[in-house]
Structure 1
Amino acid sequence: MRQLAAILFADMTGYTALMQENEQLARAKRKRLKDVLDVVIEKHHGKTIQYYGDGSLSIFNSAIDSVMCAIEIQHELQREITVDLRIGIHIGDVIIEDEAIYGDGVNLASRIESLAVSGSVLISEKVFDEIRNQSHIQSRELGYFEMKNVKTPVRVFAITNSGIVVPDRAELQGKTKQPVNRLAVLPFVNMSADTENEYFSDGITEELLNALTKIDGLQVTSRTSAFAFKGKNIDIRDIAIQLNVDKVLEGSVRRAGNRVRITAQLINAADGYHLWSENYDRQLTDIFEVQDEISNIIANKLRENLTASQTSHHVKSPPAQNVDAYTFYLKGLHYWNRVTPADMRKAIECFEQAIALEPDYALAYAMTASAYSHLGAAGQMLPDTAFEIVHRYADKALALDPSIAEGHIAKGGAYLFYNWKWKEAYEALQKAVALNPGATTAYNLLSLYYVTVGQKDQALAVMEKAVKLDPLSPMINQALGNIYVYLERYDDAIRQADKLLEIDPQMRASLELKAWSLGMKNEWERALTLFEEIHRLTNHPLKGLMGVGYANAMLGRSAIALECIRKIEQRQAENPELVLDADLVGIWYALGDYDKVFYHIMRCVEKRVAPVSLFLEYPVFAGLRKDPRFRDLKEKMDIKM
């Protein structure tokens, strides 16, 4: 029998040694443990599957019940006769046969228990997601740990309720493999008198980050996660736990005219010890040499954990010769990272100014291409216009310097969203990842390629790697949630959405992720409440109506769904440059009118404005797959089924 369960491992510490010293006391403690487990586990609706000498394995239908049970067990065992016990809990799929239990979840729960110390209760991230809003259960993050026979690092939390032992991460270091050569580059602080130089210090940080990413054997946390700590006074050790790194680079930048002072220090995350620090006073014209010098020093400081071939790699400096052009490029990056359409247009202006001053500035061409790709894919420009520019600028960038990942990312995005050249998209994005293993934008696009060609498990693997590189990025975490939906893992998608909504309760993309996930679980009333909130947040009577219409249609309220269609068509008429056929596809599908569904899908295909290849794979439209026109459409788009 297969089931999802909260798995609780409990194990006495020091039992074998105690048996050798005082067998009678050891047996008394073991009996005491079993007596407590029998009573408390049953009280919290659990079931003991196995006793094994000095420990036990139990399962629960509720994560909250399992944690409350663990807390009570530890409290009971502090009374006479006291028993030193470790407890680990995880949620996972298990198979129970003939009173035996199997599954990866069992292995992971066991690993977490082995990581614990006497008197503690450690839980996995999945358990934490279930108990995080329970006011009577307190917890604290201990960070990521690499465990034997577990492929990816595991995020572990400690229960901190009164009477429960809470270990420091340092106490657990000897129990598992620690992260090696994982580095976070925190935003360098702008120490200049002019606050307008903020873009300059951010740009220096980003250039260093990109340079370090190219060092073989060094894993660097991506920009979004590192910049999440900008302006915050947080202990380096806590930052390292959240980012799962063992080294942190921080510093400051002071610019005055054409002079610049850069201070940098490399810190060991475990103890806060400074491994290296240096001040650089240079002319602005030497800025590229300073970046290169800092990057190579850090590589050398990590030499003991890198092979000779890895440490011999030298970072290539940014290929800008004109300092003013480089300044405009940094300003462009500043606006680019704000993501909004208005800021994207400002970024384009800055990149174009950089190109005007230095016509062979490959990175500026590549970033201009990426900015236009963003506008075209988001419907902020006519696709024909946007993607013609994307290809032209990306081709120019790659002709100047084929080693920059950004040019390949722009090409890959255009092939994926506009040209529908799947092989070319895959090759461009793989090339980007090979050139810059930290380019999480490429991972995101690559995952969408895998969804398009029906390799959804591969899409998940790619996004899990991206989250590992950029654990605090809202965009990357949102993308992982979307992949969960494609895999029909709706509970995982909801957990992902809830994490993002805890940061920003009005994040429309995350509200939408949760709404569709609830709907696919046939909870359309709850989904409708969220879709109505999304519509409200648009602050426009004609925007954000697709989900509202779809949910109402699924609830049998056809009149409301048809009214949503009327409003979408009104918006289309008022804004002829917009193409809203994808929204109409959704509502007509929910209403069961497949002729209108395929009419609007073909409109999307003709105008190449919506990622048709992706919404065809969305579980919401699963019913289309039985229609013969679906196969014809796949063939038209050259997608193998």
Structure 2
Amino acid sequence: MDLERVGRYRVLRRIGSGGMGEVYEAEDTKLGRHVALKFLSSLLSSDSQALERFQREARAASSLNHPNVCVIYEIEAHEGQPFIAMELLQGDTFRQKITGAVLAVDEVLDLAIQVCDGLDAAHSKNVIHRDLKPENLFVTDRQQAKILDFGLAKFAFDAAAGPDSPTVAPSQLSTPGSTLGTLAYMSPEQVLGKALDVRTDLYSFGAVLYEMVTGTRLVQSQVTGAIFDDILHKPSASILSNNPKLPKDLDRLISKALEKDRELRYQSAAELRSDLKRLKRDLSSRASSGNIAARPSHKRPLTAIAVLPFENANADPSYEYLSDGLTETIIDELSQIPKLSVVARSTVFRYKNRELDPQAVGKELNVGAVITGRLVRRAEMLTVAVEMVDTANGLRLWGERYNRRAEDLLAIEDDIGRHITERLRSSLTEKSTSRGRRRPTTRNTAAYEAYLKGRYYWNKRSETELRKGAEYFEQAIALDPAYALAYAGLADFYIVLGWYSYVRPQDSYPRAKAAALKALEIDPNLAESHTAMGFISLLYDWDTETAEKYFRRALELNPKYAPGHHWYSDFLAANLRLEEARNQARCALELDPLSLIINWNMGWMLYFSRQYEPAVAQFKSTLELDPNYLVTYLFLGQAYVQQGLYDEAQAAFQRAADLSQRAAVSLALLGHCQALAKRTEDASKVLAELQARAQNSYVSPAFFAWIHLGFGSHDEGFKWLDKALAERSNWLVWLNADPKYDPLRSDERFARLLDKVGFARRSTGTS
């Protein structure tokens, strides 16, 4: 068989071989990416059972789309030899990683959580792997776990029709692809030939975990009958018998995974993952205290804290800006303390205007203490009551009441931060409780109040409230021309104004740039302004090198700045560094788990990675936080479009249009979907509506291009994309990454467009 050229693939080298066949590295000449080609051996290609197993692997794995499952691109045949084209991975199998070595517990937990993520995705699609072992688990050079080889996978609902054929039937013991190594990781029900469900994978993975932390195989016997007897009857050895220093909770976890009675075992990968995450958290907390043993709650180190939204106890809601602003300022102040984890604003503000039990919220947020506050303003007097509550027992750790004149607001804020820091000193080292570099502020109380009002309205995100916020930022600047944060706020306003295409790019981004540069002139170490400059350099200047320098500097200055990780992920996605983009998005999500925009952004990165089902799941998860979050519907609809689910997509876009008073972007995506679905009359009406609107207000040319592309009118689409290019539309930054442009990628006009935006034509794979 000639293997220099296989269809559109150019074979580069042989990677290895196994019982089922051989694997080669190849270049996909059409998409410009490197892939792995797995060929069924010529000896087995005529074996109907082997061929079915081979095809089953392709069907099972290709039905999944998850970052912890090796991606299957297609199954084809070359000169009569079936092959699978799959994701090319760089790294080691778990077998290679654990041979002659025992992994650290924290590394085991990190990898195990990822494997559970992949298993949960497979099981949710009714796919059981049935052959989990160290050889079928992989860790990339970037420490990402991948599940491989679904050659024995079976859809769970098949099992409902009757018991599976025993995987260890005598006829299989001598066939390629079935080894004693495979047998050693089988569940008891698999050995007995019973109908299998997802719990068989959890047992097998428990056996892998056992080996990862002890360095020895769970089943030591080498003879088939003895292996079966051990699996069915021999109690599993404790990991502590190999290493007494291992955590007892880890021993209990692995023992539960290895229960011979599957009713007593973990019932789902999600349940196992929760225990792994809980153990990782607890071990991390104990390690930071330097003492694994439990401590009395009043001496437990407060390494994580949440500041809940301060209550505005005034009858006048116009003082909301004051209570919200004070909350944000204290969060920012405490975030400067090294080694103290402070829950981000977006997450804690999910609890605003709710009756709260601070202890319950603290446990929900997984922090050691919660700070609550209440603010009352009467004429020129301001009263702020603050207290800190221990999450473990609900006891009051500290409290203070501040009665000052309203003009002393800055002093109150400073005192609160200093008193909380002093209270934390008993938990953290002296060095750790230094408040770090103070955030640039103003001594002008009126300027500070104007800034707080600006942020309050900016967070609302509608065009009307954004513009109101900008007025307050400008007011703060007028009152104190050296107020760096006010310039940073103004830059953020213009960025969002341009991002949502409320105005022409040239009317927003140059002004954003001027404000951000002024903020950096006043304070070169302001992470927010470095992040803003990174985004402006990406969206308007189309200067990727400069953009990345700004993003990296922002995260050097403040590694805990969730929006910095969020916006950097967008930059990485635009440059098709998709795995890095997903990692940055996850980092932002860990820092700010209840932020709507950051939850949405995680789905967006999955969408760009062509992982549409996980993207849909993430968007739906975001909508559980807020069913009316507009931007989520826009991108949920796009994920549905890429799956060909046009009815679902149209419903999502229609909901976005309803929520936004028929914003142009929602109409453009609706029209694009309708055109693709051959609902020509509906799409034409939407196009006409946008054309009429463009007579009186700004509509991005990119929006017209989308609808024409939906119609298949590429010439008209390119005409509008050229207009978008002329005005430096931020939507063109996503040309390389956005799947909606896939039909244009073979057109030379698209290559020229990319070149003008500053991007080379690249593969759009799921790297």
Alignment TM-score, normalising by the size of structure 1:
0.73
Cα distance between partner residues in 1 of 2:338 and 2:735: 37
Aligned to 1:623: 743
Is this contact kept in 1: 2:736–2:759, CA < 8 A? no
CA deviation vs aligned residue, 1:300-328 (integer Å, no higher than 9, x gap):
44446645532334451652111122121
Aligned to 2:752: 632
Amino acid at match of 1:396: K
Aligned to 1:183: 305
Aligned to 2:711: 591
Aligned to 2:123: 5
* SS of residue matched to 2:632: helix
Cα distance between partner residues in 2 of 1:127 and 1:561: 47
Using the TM superposition, give the Cα deviation of residue 608 of structure 1 relative to its aligned residue in structure 2, in angstroms.
1.5
Amino acid at match of 2:733: S
Using the TM superposition, give the Cα deviation of residue 562 of structure 1 relative to its aligned residue in structure 2, in angstroms.
4.2
Q: Which moved more, 1:608-617 or 1:598-607?
A: 608-617
Aligned to 1:528: 650
Using the TM superposition, give the Cα deviation of residue 533 of structure 1 relative to its aligned residue in structure 2, in angstroms.
4.2
Aligned: 1:502 with 2:599: no
1:490 to 612, 626, 633: 612
Q: Relative to 1, partners in 2 of residues 1:564 and 1:369: Cα closer, same or farther, differing over 3 Å?
A: same
2:732 to 589, 612, 632: 612
Q: Which runs of 5+ in 2 are unaligned?
A: 1-56, 62-121, 130-156, 168-181, 191-196, 207-223, 229-249, 285-293, 763-767
Q: Relative to 1, partners in 2 of residues 1:434 and 1:282: Cα closer, same or farther, differing over 3 Å?
A: farther
* SS of residue matched to 1:311: coil
Amino acid at match of 1:399: E
Cα distance between partner residues in 2 of 1:294 and 1:535: 44
Q: Which moved more, 1:406-415 or 1:451-460?
A: 406-415
Aligned to 1:392: 514
Query: What pairs with 1:256-405 in structure 2 (closer than 5 Å)?
Result: 256-303=378-425, 306-314=428-436, 316=438, 318-405=440-527
Amino acid at match of 2:358: I
Q: Which moved more, 1:297-306 or 1:359-368?
A: 297-306
Using the TM superposition, give the Cα deviation of residue 212 of structure 1 relative to its aligned residue in structure 2, in angstroms.
1.1
CA deviation vs aligned residue, 1:125-154 (integer Å, no higher than 9, x gap):
6999xxxxxxxxxxxx99962539999xxx
Q: Which runs of 5+ in 1 are unaligned?
A: 10-39, 59-64, 71-84, 89-97, 101-106, 129-140, 152-171
In the comparison of the two structures, how many residue pairs are matched? 537
Is this contact kept in 1: 2:664–2:703, CA < 8 A? no
Q: Relative to 1, partners in 2 of residues 1:127 and 1:489: Cα closer, same or farther, differing over 3 Å?
A: farther
Cα distance between partner residues in 1 of 2:395 and 2:516: 43
Query: What pairs with 1:78-477 in structure 2 (closer than 5 Å)?
Result: 145-147=278-280, 181-192=303-314, 194-303=316-425, 306-314=428-436, 316=438, 318-477=440-599
* SS of residue matched to 1:310: coil
Using the TM superposition, give the Cα deviation of residue 627 of structure 1 relative to its aligned residue in structure 2, in angstroms.
1.9
Q: Relative to 1, partners in 2 of residues 1:184 and 1:542: Cα closer, same or farther, differing over 3 Å?
A: closer
Q: Relative to 1, partners in 2 of residues 1:292 and 1:145: Cα closer, same or farther, differing over 3 Å?
A: farther
Using the TM superposition, give the Cα deviation of residue 52 of structure 1 relative to its aligned residue in structure 2, in angstroms.
8.6
Q: Relative to 1, partners in 2 of residues 1:423 and 1:56: Cα closer, same or farther, differing over 3 Å?
A: farther
Aligned: 1:547 with 2:669: yes
* SS of residue matched to 2:319: helix
Q: Relative to 1, partners in 2 of residues 1:350 and 1:632: Cα closer, same or farther, differing over 3 Å?
A: same
Amino acid at match of 1:147: K
Aligned: 1:479 with 2:601: yes
Q: Relative to 1, partners in 2 of residues 1:468 and 1:180: Cα closer, same or farther, differing over 3 Å?
A: farther
Using the TM superposition, give the Cα deviation of residue 228 of structure 1 relative to its aligned residue in structure 2, in angstroms.
1.0
CA deviation vs aligned residue, 1:247-288 (integer Å, no higher than 9, x gap):
211122233344433322222223223222223334445443
Q: Relative to 1, partners in 2 of residues 1:536 and 1:288: Cα closer, same or farther, differing over 3 Å?
A: closer
Cα distance between partner residues in 1 of 2:324 and 2:344: 14
Using the TM superposition, give the Cα deviation of residue 459 of structure 1 relative to its aligned residue in structure 2, in angstroms.
0.9
Identity fraction in percent:
27
Q: Relative to 1, partners in 2 of residues 1:291 and 1:149: Cα closer, same or farther, differing over 3 Å?
A: closer
Amino acid at match of 1:469: L
Q: Relative to 1, partners in 2 of residues 1:552 and 1:193: Cα closer, same or farther, differing over 3 Å?
A: closer
Aligned: 1:603 with 2:736: no
Cα distance between partner residues in 2 of 1:221 and 1:114: 33
Using the TM superposition, give the Cα deviation of residue 442 of structure 1 relative to its aligned residue in structure 2, in angstroms.
2.2
Using the TM superposition, give the Cα deviation of residue 512 of structure 1 relative to its aligned residue in structure 2, in angstroms.
2.6
Amino acid at match of 1:329: Y
Using the TM superposition, give the Cα deviation of residue 615 of structure 1 relative to its aligned residue in structure 2, in angstroms.
4.0
* SS of residue matched to 1:264: strand
Cα distance between partner residues in 2 of 1:569 and 1:276: 61
Q: Which moved more, 1:485-494 or 1:623-632?
A: 623-632
Cα distance between partner residues in 2 of 1:429 and 1:339: 23
Q: RMSD of aligned C-alpha atoms? A: 4.3
Cα distance between partner residues in 2 of 1:285 and 1:606: 49
Aligned: 1:581 with 2:701: yes
Cα distance between partner residues in 2 of 1:303 and 1:149: 22
Aligned to 2:4: none
Amino acid at match of 2:443: Q
Q: Relative to 1, partners in 2 of residues 1:552 and 1:474: Cα closer, same or farther, differing over 3 Å?
A: same
Using the TM superposition, give the Cα deviation of residue 229 of structure 1 relative to its aligned residue in structure 2, in angstroms.
0.6
Aligned: 1:565 with 2:678: no
Using the TM superposition, give the Cα deviation of residue 406 of structure 1 relative to its aligned residue in structure 2, in angstroms.
2.6
Using the TM superposition, give the Cα deviation of residue 336 of structure 1 relative to its aligned residue in structure 2, in angstroms.
1.5
* SS of residue matched to 2:280: coil
Cα distance between partner residues in 1 of 2:325 and 2:469: 13
Amino acid at match of 1:582: A
Is this contact kept in 1: 2:338–2:436, CA < 8 A? no
Cα distance between partner residues in 2 of 1:329 and 1:228: 22
* SS of residue matched to 2:508: helix
* SS of residue matched to 2:339: coil
Cα distance between partner residues in 1 of 2:444 and 2:663: 49
Q: Relative to 1, partners in 2 of residues 1:435 and 1:521: Cα closer, same or farther, differing over 3 Å?
A: same
Cα distance between partner residues in 1 of 2:590 and 2:163: 33
Using the TM superposition, give the Cα deviation of residue 416 of structure 1 relative to its aligned residue in structure 2, in angstroms.
1.9
Aligned to 2:247: none
Q: Relative to 1, partners in 2 of residues 1:626 and 1:148: Cα closer, same or farther, differing over 3 Å?
A: farther
Aligned to 1:518: 640
Q: Relative to 1, partners in 2 of residues 1:250 and 1:540: Cα closer, same or farther, differing over 3 Å?
A: closer
Q: Which moved more, 1:331-340 or 1:245-254?
A: 245-254
